[in-house]
């Protein structure tokens, strides 16, 4: 007997096929619906991700947020997932999105426990560049975590690009764009103190700094493989926020890195660093950062420079800078580990 889930899957596939999509494989699923890797002869992109959801689950806020970020094609950040188009049918909505072919940052850090600091630096630089762009457009993401950072390798480039995804809970800043009332939402271990200490209020005063806290907590997790509180205890997390003390773990020996993390995990949002200022921190701009640029990063950036000169429109200004280059070998090491397991 076919289950209701299987029937829904069949219905979604039939809808895509009726619109002349060739389904390559399913790449995601959940309560919201399904995501398929597809090809369409009329699209410029060879492959795209097709998110198929029931109409009642379609979040116009997600589409509006993506529209704000994509208004000027020449200025679109390569570090966010681009929505291509959406179409609503009788029962379902199909959203076409840029396809990222290497999974998520969560997958990477789960299988690669000891990422070298120079590679962590590039990962953080790319995400912060994406966040800076999002915030400059008047948006707050509100759910930054490893599972919402996708990894993509432009075929043949040897590089990995990180892309911020899932704008379903993004919030548009209004007024002066500094302080606004926002609904308390996100993934609990990554939620900022202003959310956790909201005394049960549905809405609290917050700003774009909630994303910086979330990213700081993600960095803490990458470096120590844990959170600074018990993961399954809201009471412990609340107490950590109320005490407002971040104890330096033994795993973080680098003083510059520790200073950078502290500035991201300031309990007072008014003292917390912004995405734009974070990119100018010594962790990215100091002599140590310059010394730790690898030969491979330099080589890949030079290849990108040559491609750009030769008219390759897929290459961006960031690809030509070694400080933004994350070599594909970081993912190949992960694959080798999976094979050993």
Q: Do 178 and 72 fall into the same domain?
A: no
257-273 average pLDDT score: 97
* Most confident listed range (65-79, 209-223, 232-246): 209-223
Q: Do 113 and 234 fall into the same domain?
A: yes
Phi then psi dihedrals of residue 115, to 5 deg:
-65, 135
Domain-terminating residue out of 37, 66, 98: 98
Domain-terminating residue out of 274, 291, 308: 291
Residues whose CB is less than 8 angstroms from the CB of residue 159 and which lie 6 or more positions away in sequence, other chains included: 153, 300, 304, 319, 325, 326, 327, 328
Q: pLDDT value at position 116?
A: 95
311-340 average pLDDT score: 80
**Which helix (H) or strand (E) segment is 172 a member of?**
strand 171-172
pLDDT surpassing 80 at residue 338: no
pLDDT band at 210 (very low <50, low <70, confident <90, very high): very high
User: Between residues 236 and 39, which one has the greater pLDDT?
Assistant: 39
- The domain containing residue 109 runs over which residues? 105-291
Q: Do 58 and 144 fall into the same domain?
A: no
Number of domains in the chain: 2
6-18 average pLDDT score: 93
CATH code for position 35? 3.30.200.20
Q: pLDDT value at position 272?
A: 97
Of 210, 104, 213, nearest to 165 (Cα)? 104
User: Between residues 204 and 23, which one has the greater pLDDT?
Assistant: 23
Residue 164 lies in a domain: yes
pLDDT surpassing 50 at residue 339: no
Q: pLDDT value at position 205?
A: 67
pTM confidence score: 0.88
pLDDT surpassing 90 at residue 43: yes
Residues 300 and 85: beta-carbon distance below 8 Å = no
In tens, the pLDDT along 167-189 reads: 765 566 554 445 554 554 567 89
Q: What's the CA gap between 326 and 123, in Å, rounded?
A: 7
Q: pLDDT value at position 314?
A: 87
259-267 average pLDDT score: 98
Q: Do 55 and 168 fall into the same domain?
A: no
pLDDT band at 331 (very low <50, low <70, confident <90, very high): confident
Q: pLDDT value at position 341?
A: 39
Q: Do 79 and 133 fall into the same domain?
A: no
Radius of gyration of the CA atoms of the chain, in A: 21
Q: Do 122 and 258 fall into the same domain?
A: yes
Q: What's the CA gap between 67 and 135, in Å, rounded?
A: 14
Q: What's the CA gap between 209 and 142, in Å, rounded?
A: 9
Phi then psi dihedrals of residue 287, to 5 deg:
-65, -35
Q: Do 32 and 144 fall into the same domain?
A: no
Q: pLDDT value at position 261?
A: 99
Q: What is the mean pLDDT of the chain?
A: 87
Residue 303 lies in a domain: no
Residue 326 lies in a domain: no
β-bridge partners, 129: none
Q: pLDDT value at position 332?
A: 64
Q: What's the CA gap between 181 and 204, in Å, rounded?
A: 5
Q: pLDDT value at position 325?
A: 98
In tens, the pLDDT along 284-306 reads: 999 999 999 999 999 999 999 99
**Which helix (H) or strand (E) segment is 94 a member of?**
strand 92-98
Domain-terminating residue out of 81, 98, 115: 98
Q: Do 76 and 187 fall into the same domain?
A: no
5-29 average pLDDT score: 93
217-242 average pLDDT score: 91
CATH code for position 273? 1.10.510.10
In tens, the pLDDT along 58-96 reads: 777 666 666 677 666 667 899 999 888 888 999 999 989
Determine whether the annotation assigns residue 51 to a binding site.
yes
112-137 average pLDDT score: 95
């Amino acid at each position: 007997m076919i289950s209701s889930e299987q029937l829904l899957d069949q219905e979604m596939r039939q809808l895509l096929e009726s619109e002349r999509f060739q389904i390559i494989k399913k790449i995601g699923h959940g309560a919201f619906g399904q995501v398929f890797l597809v090809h369409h002869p009329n699209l410029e992109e060879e492959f795209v991700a097709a998110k198929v959801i029931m109409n009642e689950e379609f979040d116009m806020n997600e589409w509006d947020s993506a529209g704000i970020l994509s208004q000027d094609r020449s200025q679109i950040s390569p570090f966010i997932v681009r929505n291509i188009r959406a179409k609503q049918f009788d029962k379902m909505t199909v959203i076409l999105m840029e396809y990222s072919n290497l999974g998520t940052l969560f997958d990477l850090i789960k299988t690669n426990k000891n990422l070298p600091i120079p590679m962590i630096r590039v990962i953080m630089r790319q995400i912060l560049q994406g966040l800076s762009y999002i915030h400059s457009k008047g948006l707050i993401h509100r759910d930054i975590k490893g599972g919402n950072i996708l990894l993509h390798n432009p075929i043949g480039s040897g590089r990995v690009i990180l892309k911020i995804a899932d704008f379903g809970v993004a919030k548009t800043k209004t007024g002066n764009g500094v302080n606004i009332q926002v609904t308390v939402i996100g993934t609990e271990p990554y939620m900022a103190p202003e959310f956790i200490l909201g005394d049960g209020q549905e809405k609290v005063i917050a700003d774009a700094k909630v994303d910086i806290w979330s990213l700081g907590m993600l960095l803490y997790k990458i470096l120590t493989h844990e959170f600074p509180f018990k993961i399954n205890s809201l009471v412990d997390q609340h107490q950590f926020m109320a005490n407002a003390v971040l104890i330096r773990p033994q795993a973080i020996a680098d003083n510059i890195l520790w200073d950078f993390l502290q500035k991201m995990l300031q309990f007072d949002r008014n003292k917390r660093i912004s995405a734009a200022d974070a990119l100018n921190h010594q962790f990215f701009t100091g002599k140590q950062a310059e010394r730790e640029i690898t030969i491979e990063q330099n080589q890949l950036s030079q290849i990108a420079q040559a491609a750009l000169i030769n008219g390759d429109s897929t290459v961006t200004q960031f690809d030509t800078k070694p400080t933004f280059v994350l070599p594909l070998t970081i993912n190949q090491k992960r694959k080798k580990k999976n094979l050993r397991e």
